């Protein structure tokens, strides 16, 4: 005697925790949206801070370049002027402090204008690429820039020996011969320009520290982006957190 086999019920598996947890998908979406908003806010903040840093660094370097250029031109245009058997400057004038300051400020201004031009007429991505030449993308370059301006400010001050343009213009000897060279060179103005440039060089070094602070937000944003990438990868694989 035979019996007809009863139809077999398909084997059922218990629902996963993801399916039975109320609001799991909603909570995951909220978490992803929160990360996305935070990432966008950090991105905007970094762009604004970098733009401010570029404008300020260039603004500090421009007057430094102009003032030191005026002093250097003043020297070369008057060094052969003779009054009462002598010229207006020291016999063995030391020009290296002025040349050093001109080079540092000139490079900063040039690269600053390149970056600002990329911002105004190009794209932010292009500006960031140009910025790799300056002092605000990598910590190593920023530290080098900071070291440069600290060295410039210190050496410019140490170079004030009385033989350099700034030191000579502020010396008593320059005061004693000022009357003979009225209309040729104003040592008081040269002295004031040198003092102003020294202060500006210190300010430039100090502001570079602000540039380094921007990297805190850069690193923070990288951590958020990494989490976003992990969430996206898990979503594609169909796994939970």
The pTM of the whole model exceeds 0.85: no
**Residue 67 and residue 61: Cα distance in Å, rounded?**
10
Query: What is the average pLDDT value for the chain, to the nearest integer?
Result: 78
For the ranges 48-52, 125-129, 193-197, the one whose mean pLDDT is highest: 193-197
Which single residue is written with the structure tokens 């301006």?
149
Question: How would you class 151 by CB atoms within 10 Å of its CB: exposed for 0-12, middle for 13-18, buried for 19 or more?
Answer: middle
Question: Which pLDDT belongs to residue 27?
Answer: 66
Q: CA–CA distance from 150 to each of 56, 74, 97, 110, 164 (Å)?
A: 17, 26, 13, 20, 19
pLDDT of 94-127, one tens digit each? Answer: 999 999 999 989 988 888 888 778 777 766 555 5
For residue 16, is pLDDT > 60? Answer: no
* Contact by Cβ (8 Å): 45, 217: yes
Closest CA to 133 of 120, 115, 119, 152: 115
Q: What is the mean pLDDT of residues 205-209?
A: 79
For the ranges 8-22, 76-90, 98-112, the one whose mean pLDDT is highest: 76-90
Coil, strand or helix: which one is 164? strand
Backbone dihedral angles phi then psi of residue 223, each to the nearest 5 degrees: -65, -40
Name residues whose C-beta falls within 8 Å of residue 207's C-beta, 6 or more positions apart in sequence.
53, 56, 57, 60
pLDDT of 126-165, one tens digit each? Answer: 555 555 544 444 456 566 667 778 888 888 888 888 889 9
State the SS3 of 57-93: HHHHHHHHHHHHHHHHHHHHHHCCCCECCECCCCCCC
What pLDDT band is residue 63 in, cutting at 50, 70 and 90?
Answer: very high
Backbone dihedral angles phi then psi of residue 87, each to the nearest 5 degrees: -95, 175
């Amino acid at each position: 005697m035979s019996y007809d086999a009863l139809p077999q019920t398909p084997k059922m598996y218990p629902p996963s925790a993801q399916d039975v947890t109320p609001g799991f998908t909603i909570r995951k979406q909220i978490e992803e949206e929160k990360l996305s908003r935070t990432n966008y806010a950090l991105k905007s903040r970094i762009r604004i801070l970098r733009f401010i840093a570029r404008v300020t660094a260039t603004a500090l370097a421009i007057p430094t370049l102009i003032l030191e250029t005026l002093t250097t031109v003043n020297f070369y245009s008057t060094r052969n002027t003779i009054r009462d058997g002598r010229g207006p400057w020291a016999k063995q004038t030391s020009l290296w402090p002025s040349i050093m300051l001109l080079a540092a400020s000139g490079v900063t201004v040039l690269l600053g204008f390149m970056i600002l031009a990329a911002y105004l007429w190009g794209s932010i991505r292009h500006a960031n690429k140009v910025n790799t030449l300056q002092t605000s993308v990598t910590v190593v370059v920023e530290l080098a820039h900071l070291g440069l301006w600290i060295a410039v400010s210190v050496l410019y001050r140490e170079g004030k020996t009385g033989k350099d343009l700034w030191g000579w213009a502020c010396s008593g000897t320059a005061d004693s011969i000022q009357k003979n060279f009225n209309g040729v060179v104003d040592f008081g103005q040269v002295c004031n320009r040198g003092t102003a440039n020294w202060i500006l060089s210190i300010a430039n070094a100090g502001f570079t520290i602000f540039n380094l602070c921007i990297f805190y937000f850069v690193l923070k944003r990288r951590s958020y982006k990494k989490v976003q990438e992990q969430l996206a990868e898990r979503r594609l694989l169909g796994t939970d957190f």
